Chain A
Amino acid sequence: MRALSPLRGLLMAAGLSALATGAFTTGALAAEQPGLEHYPSLDWHFEGIFGTYERASLQRGFQVYNEVCAACHGLDLLAYRNLEAIGFSPEEVKAIAAGHRVEDGPDDAGDMFERPATPADRFRSPFANAKQAAAANGGAAPPDLSLVAKRTEYGPDYTYALLTGYEETPPYAWSQENSLLPGQYFNKYRGAISMAPPLTEDLIEYSDGTGATVHQMAYDVSNFLMWAAEPHMEERKQTGIKAILFLLVFTVILYAVKRKIWAKLH
């Protein structure tokens, strides 16, 4: 097995550089202000190389988004038809889309008009543009949520933390150096935030009868937003497993052939 040692070197080198880079991606969201807590780390069903999305949770999460968050946040990168991927039937998707009105046109007279959305339409945004969104929310525009699960290193833990981290009074250590402006709330993970706590116990009634605790709604909507950010994750992992199995066989065979060919030299 003499030939394996350089190989190990190669793998180690690749692994090392990968590890090193892991340390490089630390973002700016870690608890930098005194008195804040670190983002919690939940168990998500999609984690791990065999992980899949939990359909029931995604559907509930969509309900939370649709009934609560959609009042302020857009989800521009999704179309209603995409919801079929999380287990809604085509009829259900049609009905969901029809519940929203979108602008279309111009018609033959040159006028813009409103019509019910169809599955092919993108999710309707609550505001026409960022300025309007900011004006309606005391100056802080609620950002689009399509990629929120991928734009911090915490993934869905980040959204979950924001939604469950509100507290009435900031801790002493925090207030020493920071203060809340009018219209801001205290969140123990993030500090001052301009989003009013969007979730309260039993705010919505889940259509599958699950109890709508704040934890449950935050968990479901975070799960849903992870899917929204990375809709092909399951396909990616499954393709990967197949590709790697194939490559393993292929590489072992090549190794045997290599040994055989090189044996002639010695």
Chain B
Amino acid sequence: MASNGTAPGSKLVKWIDHRLPIFTFMRHETHEYPTPRNLSYWWNFGSLAGIVLVIMIATGLVLAMQYAPHKDLAFDSVERIMRDVNGGWLLRYIHMNGASFFFIVVYIHIFRGLYYGSYKPPREILWLLGVLILLLMMGTAFMGYVLPWGQMSLWGATVITNLFSAIPLVGESIVEWLWGGFSVDNPTLNRFFVFHFLLPFVIVAVVFLHLWALHRFGSNNPLGIDAKGPQDKIPFHPYYTVKDAFGLGVFLIVFAAVVSFAPNFMGHPDNYIPANPLVTPPHIVPEWYFLPFYAMLRAVDFDIAIPFTGIVIIEAKLGGVLVMFGSIALLALLPWLDRSPVRSGRFRPVFKWFFWVFALDCVILGYCGSQPAEGGWIVAAQIATLWYFLHFLAILPLLSILERPKPLPASIGEPVLKGGGTLAGAAAKPMEKA
């Protein structure tokens, strides 16, 4: 698989490649690209996410040709797509469920990174770009959900945009500026459509940077140790192209089953009621992928005041917003909170447990977010939110100091080639910088 610097191919390819070495580049980055030989199926989700992004853009572009971003037309135009446009129902259901599957895939991808320490040096920027992609995805999905202009579109948008009014002094003006008026109305729908159209292409650009950063040091792996030499790596093609293709097949089966047999399962039925500013739905719930964050937002139902003076420093609403955005900020700071030199959770006996507790905590938060904000659910959400923050701010930093990791294998190739199991003669040693 040695590269001689130029791509093979016809004369024309060579002519172009000499002037713009794009074929060499492609070959180098997608063909020869050396990859750890021991990646598990958890490493399939990155390429899957990329494919879902392409699916979203492709279906979105075609939907946009029939969709009318006006409050009097939007709902009916989506129904027209569902009923009268050839294959429109398929496009719309793929796009609608594709958003949910995008988040399923990306959340698994993120938790993979959390478990195997993929955010640690030298991959911090790679990780930061990932968090940025998550934020952009959230913005895109939120604005996309507004477009069909059903009851949840309108009221979800109202609740979320209203959050900005919590900002002291300028909050109200910011909200009016976002709305383009005095409530979520036609100008809001219009600009959301514009941004919903634009942001996915911004995501593509950030994904490109994400991959660039990835290819600088290559993939992490289930052992979390660096490759010791060429025997630890295999070319991306054909090994991982075929493995990713197989994973894609499995993914598409599940995706096709949901789109064909339960396309409205993950959506909220209220969104089949046209938006009505005069009728507030009894429970306003965001899409499932926002629920953990929604729970944290609502968990702060108290003002923070200076004791005994009654002087409020942070009002409950602002507190909730800070906590919600803080939860993502912590994700971004993770490389500097977890200082343990060992990447993979496999060799971190205590961390491993806390990882699963944290995953459970996120599920609990999601469930709390789906329930009405009253009584026990608020308390549960408060405890779970507290745990979320403790995990990042206390547990991970402490574990970095207190935990005694298990001995690391000497190389990737060793356990793999010897059939796994024994880590003969490997002594505990800190991870080295690549």
Contact = CB atoms under 8 A, between A and B. Distances in A.
Contacts of B366: 20, 24
A247 B252 contact: yes
**What DSSP secondary structure best describes chain A's contact surface?**
helix
B261 A49 contact: yes
Interface residues of A, number: 50
A26 B42 CA distance: 32
A240 B259 contact: yes
Contacts of B268: 25, 27
A150 B274 CA distance: 12
Interface in A1-55: 3, 6-7, 9-11, 13-14, 17-18, 20-28, 49
A92 to B, nearest CB: 21
B263 interface: yes
Interface in A75-125: 77, 82
A240 B257 contact: yes
Contact of A250 (B249, B264, B367): B249
A7 B264 CA distance: 26
B329 interface: no
B83 interface: yes
Contacts of B44: 10
Given A150-B264, A258-B246, A20 B363 contact: yes
**What DSSP secondary structure best describes chain B's contact surface?**
helix
Interface string A152-183: 11000000000000000000000000000000
A45 to B, nearest CB: 16
A21 B265 contact: yes
A147 B150 CA distance: 12
B370 A265 contact: no
A235 B238 CA distance: 37
Interface stretch (B3-11, B213-221, B277-285, B425-433): B277-285
A147 B37 CA distance: 52
Interface string A229-257: 10110011101110110011011001101
A261 B240 CA distance: 10
A225 B99 CA distance: 28
B40 A147 contact: no
Contact of A9 (B41, B100, B263, B273): B41
Contacts of A152: 269
Interface residues of B, number: 55
Interface string B233-276: 01000110011011101101110111111011111111011000
Contacts of A11: 250, 254
B392 interface: no
A86 to B, nearest CB: 14
A20 to B, nearest CB: 7
B304 interface: no
A229 to B, nearest CB: 8
B270 A151 contact: yes
Contacts, number: 134
Given A23-B367, A151-B270, A258-B243, A240 B265 contact: no
A244 B288 contact: no
Contact of A14 (B254, B270, B283): B254
B79 A153 contact: no
Interface in A190-210: none
A151 B83 contact: no
B246 A251 contact: yes
Given A232-B89, A255-B246, A261-B238, A25 B267 contact: yes
A17 B356 CA distance: 16
Contacts of B283: 27-28
A20 B107 CA distance: 14
A147 B272 contact: yes
Interface in B35-78: 37, 40-42, 44, 76
B253 A18 contact: no
B291 interface: yes
B232 to A, nearest CB: 12
Nearest to A262: B239
26 contacts: A3-B41, A7-B41, A10-B108, A13-B108, A14-B254, A23-B370, A24-B367, A24-B370, A25-B268, A27-B283, A28-B283, A77-B76, A77-B79, A237-B261, A240-B260, A244-B260, A247-B249, A247-B252, A247-B253, A248-B253, A251-B249, A251-B253, A258-B243, A258-B246, A261-B238, A261-B242
Given A11-B254, A17-B104, 16 more contacts: A13-B108, A17-B107, A24-B285, A25-B268, A25-B269, A150-B269, A150-B272, A232-B83, A235-B89, A240-B256, A240-B261, A254-B245, A261-B239, A261-B242, A262-B239, A265-B37
